[in-house]
Structure 1
Amino acid sequence: MRILHILNHIQEIGNGIVNVAIDLACLQAKTGHDVAVASAGGEYEALLSEYGAKHFKIDQTRTPINLIKAASMYRVAVQEFKPDIVHAHMMTGVVLARLLKMSSGYTLVSTVHNEFQRSAVLMGWAERVIAVSQAVAQSMVQRGIAENKLRIVSNGTLGSPRTRQLKEYQPLSLKRPAIATVAGMYRRKGIAELIEAFAQVAANFPQAQLYIVGNGPDRELFEAQAKLTTVSDRIHFEGFQPEPQRYLLASDIFVLASHRDPSPLVIPEAREAGCAIVATAVDGIPEALDGGQAGFLVPPSDSKALAGALEQLLSDPNVLQQWKEQAQHNLDRLNVVRVHQETMMVYEELIANSK
């Protein structure tokens, strides 16, 4: 099968959409398919080359002149590569692939990652729409995407070609007990509530430290908030880290306080690393935590509830250890191989139906 993935870029910056697509492209190439990726480029070009996947450089920046150039370059890529499947992971890609399909003969698949964006409804232009969680699928139905178009392939990242085996990472020497989050610095990631919750419990646990791993446009806002607390010296902004596993392995508690999060890849990584997990009960997070069996679930935008969960874990070593162990149960379904296999089934069904 000839598969062309289309994305805005393939930079190594912790973007979950990019990471999912790169995992798929590498495993598809590894299993004998002809695979190419069309994007503006980035650090993952080298990894794709290692797996024998081709890269077409197409800059899809949304300016009129640039989009005209992108359309021309996309036509050239399709004529040269002759894909059976074009798999679009971002909105610009699905629009390009749909409008320029004409008589090319490929079948168009899209994956809805951030369904909370208004433009996500355009992903429904594809002939088959993959949702990364049950919650995303339900949301897309409510927004008018036909159920018979939708297939659910839940995210999983363990065993990714982008990373080494977990045992090969050296844990950092963090001050303990260590609470960590790995997230983009956006308000929707709930960093403000996490800082507030930590400030509420920190006095009762004078050794506890908070490590915030990630970067983004709202970082200065969160740093300013942290400075206004009485425990700012125990809140550490670590920036983007290409190997967040080193933080996860050294942490006692992992927190993801998102307001919206369709199916975060960091949850499987935190589970594999053996962190006790506290996360918000929104979108695909409960699915990633086995409905609450693998981690505490708290309401979003509720720093008091978040503080209460942290206090329970910090107050009793036995409870903390119990949740660390529960996080590591049932990890097989979070493996990237399962994501690859289920995605290939979507392709094969489409191609069989088109004959």
Structure 2
Amino acid sequence: MHRDPASRPTLLVAASTFPAEPGDGTPGFVLDLALALADDHRVVVVAPMTKGAATHQRIGDVEVRRYHYFPSRWRDLADGAIVDNLRAKPVRWLQVPFFFASMAIALRREAARSRPDVALLHWIIPQGAVGKLVLGSLPRVVTTLGGDLYALRHPVLQRVKRAVIRSAASITCMSTDMAAELRKLGARDEQVHIVPMGVDTAPITAAVAREQRTPGRVLFVGRLVEKKGATVLLDALERMREQPAEVVVVGDGPLRGALEARAGSAVSFVGARSKDGLAAEYAQAGIALYPSVPAANGDRDGLPVALLEAMSAGCAIVASAVPGIVDVVEDGVNGLLVTPGDAGALAAAVDRLLADPALASRLGAAAQETAAAYTVEAVGDRYRTLIAGALGR
């Protein structure tokens, strides 16, 4: 139920990953959260310009303002994950200073225009750092998904992270391991809150009711970057006793070309999917794989939203036993856990589920029950409490 607009506090949201349009295939968790919070806040989002996006638009009750940071012909730093984009094409570092400067100008301008009462900044770097510089005493809730926390280890960046954390009203993260990392950077216990990104269950529920599940259909959803472990999936396929009926990879990224060349026709690489298209993929899959591994640069998954989405759809889950995932998936109860990077163990787990449909069905049902605690609505309630606390402070 919406509150009277005049009585709503204004929430300024900043993020570097934001869809041009709802459901366009770009991860939509920031938009989903913003829409949930718009029930009782006036929400304004500041995000970088991406392909096909409008400079200014409204999505539901959320106002979105995007800033240009580089000539459009070469502007691609924020198309996907920034850290992975820099690693894939180092020449993109030329865009970084313009990106930071443009973000600072956009946040300062928006703060003057909309006069926010509180800010929600995704992530510690870059939005948290820039927000600390330009938003003055505005109360700030900062969230991290992992890449900024785990991968950016240069001493200067560590100092920046400590400064952002010290000045924040609260910090949210995806897992107990990430909470421990935040404390190492000086976060106080009362600042740290484990609040994974929420799942928009409506399209998934509709797809499950509409689509036919194929027991032998194996699904991988994620950015095609090192930490997601798609290479481990291909290694595992070579070790399976019996090949799945279908193997579908949803997602894009710098490793796609090499992965497709290696897999040949054994795997269908379908690229990014719209929200409804992705929901249909979950509903059709019998098994969903999340073979996450630590990347060479230190980057790791926190708790993949795609994992929670697959659990919401009732897929049988096979995932790496890495921090974040082990907070949600319990081996043999609501999924199967394997050693990160162990292609033989991943193959054995998939073989086990293909040979035992009853086990796959039981694990999928248990996964669906677990995921009920991670809906956008439930997560939105957690953020409302934190935002109210920041306003009180």
Please give the alpha-carbon distance, in whole angstroms, between the structure 1 residues aligned to 2:278 and 2:361. Answer: 21
Aligned partner of residue 344 in structure 2, secondary structure = helix
Give the share of equivalent positions with the same residue, in percent: 23
Matches within 5 A, 1:143-292: 143-159=185-201, 164=203, 166-168=205-207, 177-201=216-240, 204-206=241-243, 208-227=245-264, 233-242=265-274, 243-259=277-293, 260-290=300-330
For each residue in 1:214-256, what CA deviation from the matched residue of structure 2 results, as whole angstroms up to 9, or x when unmatched? 11001112123324xxxxx332111111121111111111101
For each residue in 1:103-158, what CA deviation from the matched residue of structure 2 results, as whole angstroms up to 9, or x when unmatched? xx420111011232216852525332111222211222234433332122133214
- The 8 Å contact of residues 196 and 303 in structure 2, kept in 1 or not, is answered as yes
Aligned to 2:389: 349
Tell me the amino acid that sits aligned with residue 197 of structure 1: A
Kindly indicate whether residue 34 of structure 2 is the aligned counterpart of residue 25 of structure 1.
yes
Aligned partner of residue 216 in structure 1, secondary structure = coil
How far off is 1:74 after superposition?
2.3
Kindly indicate whether residue 95 of structure 2 is the aligned counterpart of residue 87 of structure 1.
no
- The 8 Å contact of residues 276 and 323 in structure 1, kept in 2 or not, is answered as yes
Q: 1:213 to 1:174 in 2, by over 3 A?
A: farther
Q: 1:279 to 1:45 in 2, by over 3 A?
A: farther
Aligned to 2:106: 73
Matches within 5 A, 1:302-313: 302-313=342-353
Tell me the amino acid that sits aligned with residue 287 of structure 2: I
Please give the alpha-carbon distance, in whole angstroms, between the structure 2 residues aligned to 1:288 and 1:89. Answer: 22
Tell me the amino acid that sits aligned with residue 52 of structure 1: D
Aligned to 2:92: none
Tell me the amino acid that sits aligned with residue 222 of structure 1: L
Q: 1:323 to 1:47 in 2, by over 3 A?
A: farther
Please give the alpha-carbon distance, in whole angstroms, between the structure 2 residues aligned to 1:317 and 1:333. Answer: 26
- The 8 Å contact of residues 158 and 334 in structure 1, kept in 2 or not, is answered as no
Supply the RMSD in Å over aligned alpha carbons: 2.7
Q: Please, which runs of 5 or more residues in structure 1 have no aligned partner? A: 228-232
Question: In structure 2, which of residues 38, 55, 62 is the aligned counterpart of residue 53 of structure 1?
Answer: 62
Aligned to 1:97: 131
Bigger shift: residues 309-318 or 64-73: 64-73
Tell me the amino acid that sits aligned with residue 122 of structure 2: H
- The 8 Å contact of residues 36 and 54 in structure 1, kept in 2 or not, is answered as yes
Tell me the amino acid that sits aligned with residue 58 of structure 1: Y
For each residue in 1:179-205, what CA deviation from the matched residue of structure 2 results, as whole angstroms up to 9, or x when unmatched? 11111111211111111111211xx32
How far off is 1:173 after superposition?
7.5
Tell me the amino acid that sits aligned with residue 40 of structure 1: P
How far off is 1:288 after superposition?
2.7
Please give the alpha-carbon distance, in whole angstroms, between the structure 2 residues aligned to 1:344 and 1:47. Answer: 25
For each residue in 1:278-335, what CA deviation from the matched residue of structure 2 results, as whole angstroms up to 9, or x when unmatched? 0011121122325662110111011011111111111122222222222222332111
Aligned to 1:4: 12
- The 8 Å contact of residues 12 and 116 in structure 2, kept in 1 or not, is answered as yes
Please give the alpha-carbon distance, in whole angstroms, between the structure 2 residues aligned to 1:335 and 1:129. Answer: 20
Calculate the TM-score normalised by the size of structure 2: 0.78
- The 8 Å contact of residues 141 and 170 in structure 2, kept in 1 or not, is answered as yes
Q: 1:305 to 1:38 in 2, by over 3 A?
A: same
How far off is 1:40 after superposition?
1.9
Aligned to 1:316: 356
- The 8 Å contact of residues 131 and 150 in structure 1, kept in 2 or not, is answered as yes
Please give the alpha-carbon distance, in whole angstroms, between the structure 2 residues aligned to 1:341 and 1:132. Answer: 16
- The 8 Å contact of residues 335 and 363 in structure 2, kept in 1 or not, is answered as yes
Bigger shift: residues 342-351 or 7-16: 7-16
Aligned partner of residue 330 in structure 1, secondary structure = helix
Q: 1:79 to 1:182 in 2, by over 3 A?
A: same
Q: How many residues align?
A: 338
How far off is 1:88 after superposition?
0.9
- The 8 Å contact of residues 224 and 253 in structure 2, kept in 1 or not, is answered as yes
Q: 1:109 to 1:206 in 2, by over 3 A?
A: closer
Please give the alpha-carbon distance, in whole angstroms, between the structure 2 residues aligned to 1:234 and 1:176. Answer: 17
- The 8 Å contact of residues 10 and 41 in structure 1, kept in 2 or not, is answered as no
Q: 1:153 to 1:66 in 2, by over 3 A?
A: closer
Q: Please, which runs of 5 or more residues in structure 2 have no aligned partner? A: 1-8, 70-76, 78-94, 294-299
Aligned to 2:73: none
